[in-house]
Amino acid sequence: MPYRMSIQEDYNTLVERVRVPGVLGTISELLGWDQQVMMPKGAAELRAKQAGVLSSVKHRLFTDPQIGQIIERLENAELSDEQRAMVREIAWDYRRAVKVPNALVREIAEVTSEAEDVWENARKNNDFASFAPWLERIVGLLRTQAHHIDPGKDPYEVLFQDYESGLSVAEANLLLNEVKEAIIPIITQYKDVLVDTGFLKRAVPQEAQLALNKEIAAMLGYDFSKGRLDISTHPFTAGYGRITTRFEETWHMPILSTIHESGHGMYEHDLPMNHVGTPLGEARSFAVHESQSRLWENMVGKSPGFWKVLHPKLKENYGEALDGVNAEMLIKAVNRIEPGFIRVDADEVTYTLHILLRFQIEQEIIGGRLPVNDIPARWNDMSQELLGITPSTDSLGCLQDVHWAGGAFGYFPSYALGNLMAAQQYAAAKRANPLMEEEFGRGEFSYLRAWLHDSVQQHGRRYPTKELIERATGKPLSSVDYISYLQEKFRRIYD
């Protein structure tokens, strides 16, 4: 009689088989970090080959038929709650991955790696025409990928599920349109309020900015023994919570970018290391990930308490740039509502409009209703419609974000959904500790840091998105807390 593994042996084998390609994925992420932070430009072609081979090997290991056989044996077996969650998430990933040809996985990795370098030059030179052929190719590859996974479903829905497996495009549209209807009156009411922001453009040496940004990240709880802060064209987090920022016309935006990425980095650092390489060692979803960064950036990083604490540090480190500037001026300036072209620089009220613009255009591109060459005109029309402004260049418009060059169609809605989740988590944390915001004014952020770890971050993908949010906050996911937060905040600041 042939030997049959026990349930526990099956489970252990599955986890270890999955862990290897999972860890390879972290190496791939590290190569992406290096490409945008450290890599010489002349190495782009080699990096594309490396990315392609690594993605191909990872995919081949993960789609081994033996993994599928073990999944089938375990799905009806008696397992612990944690084990059932692990098998559920591995099964979801496996059944999508196994449908995609390995050659297509490798081609997508190679093309997007090269395209990111092309995009960077196109953005710098305001040259959409040089990027368009690459984007056309990426869109074609992603449509093909979506067709392999589920030929009977809308291709954008399929791609969206890579980022938000627990939500549908229809649900995302409904939630974001609820926010849109609520924020239009806020924008109308406060966008013309006169606020002095000129001092934000005073010159500050980059070395001084970088030093203070590191101090701010550490003050919030970012662990520099596990991560680091560097400079990149587009701020991002990768490679086990390594973060980047960028220096701009104003000195406050690098601070907010650093806080945003610190939120991502702290989530990565707080995922359970004993599950590294497996679903339970990964973030629940991109929206949940964004909820961590948007919470720290907006609810904390734009709060009155935070800027009261930061004010003396700014005076000490930025010198003359703070002459005549008090904490109240800072609070109003960093919370100024003013429609602008750049998403990552947008105030937190108009930010959702930037996401709705991209969300709509993505659906049209992948759905075949918008040719790639027509993207700039469509972008400008929608910018005028939603924000009341038209970018003068594509660098200020459709070339500003790296996501499409990296093949990340379906990612943008996660930013706005993350805002909703962030507000819901923040409200729950405040209910648990009504003095939390007073603690911010004393430079104390450890309570919130611990609450997020306990309620969200330590669970990895153990719970589906909606269940995770409801467990953490005691309420189903909705737009209610986010809308209330915005209405109350700006009434308090400006009225």
Annotation says 9 is catalytic? no
CB of 24 closer than 8 Å to CB of 61: yes
Dihedral sign (CA 184, 190, 192, 195): negative
What type of residue is 130? S
435 forms beta bridges with: none
335 vs 394: CA distance, rounded Å: 26
DSSP secondary structure string for all residues of 183-223: HHHHHHHHTTS----GGGGS---HHHHHHHHHHHHHHHT--
Beta-carbon contacts of residue 236 (< 8 Å; ≥ 6 apart): 33, 36, 243, 244, 261, 402
CB of 216 closer than 8 Å to CB of 259: yes
414 vs 333: CA distance, rounded Å: 27
CB of 397 closer than 8 Å to CB of 376: yes
Tokens read off for 133: 């052929």
Tokens read off for 94: 């496996």
Tokens read off for 153: 């479903």
Active-site pick, 89, 107, 110, 261 = 261
359 vs 353: CA distance, rounded Å: 10
Residue identified by tokens 């003050």 is 219
Quickly count: other Cβ atoms within 10 Å of residue 328's Cβ.
Answer: 13
Query: Which of 106, 131, 439, 404 lies closest to 304, judged by CA?
Result: 439
Annotated active-site positions, please?
261
